[in-house]
Structure 1
Amino acid sequence: MISGDRLDEAEKVVALELGATDFIPKPFGMREFLARIRVALRQRISSPRTREQRSFRFGAWKLSVKQRRLICAERGEVKLTACEFNLLIAFLENPRNVLSRERLLLASRVRGEEVYDRSIDVLIMRLRRKLEADAANPRLVKTSRGAGYFFNADVDVSYGGTLAA
Structure 2
Amino acid sequence: MRIATEVLVEKYKDHLFAAAFNVCKNAADADDVVQDTFLQYHTTNRQFENEQHIRAWLIRVAINKAKNINLSFWRQKGVPLEEYMETLTFETPEAQILFTEIMKLPEKYRIVIHLFYYEDYTIREIAKIMNVTESNVKVRLTRGRRLLRNVLKEEWENDR
Greater percentage in strand: 1
**Which TM bucket (shorter chain)?**
0.3 to 0.5
Q: Which structure has the bigger radius of gyration? A: 1
Greater percentage in helix: 2
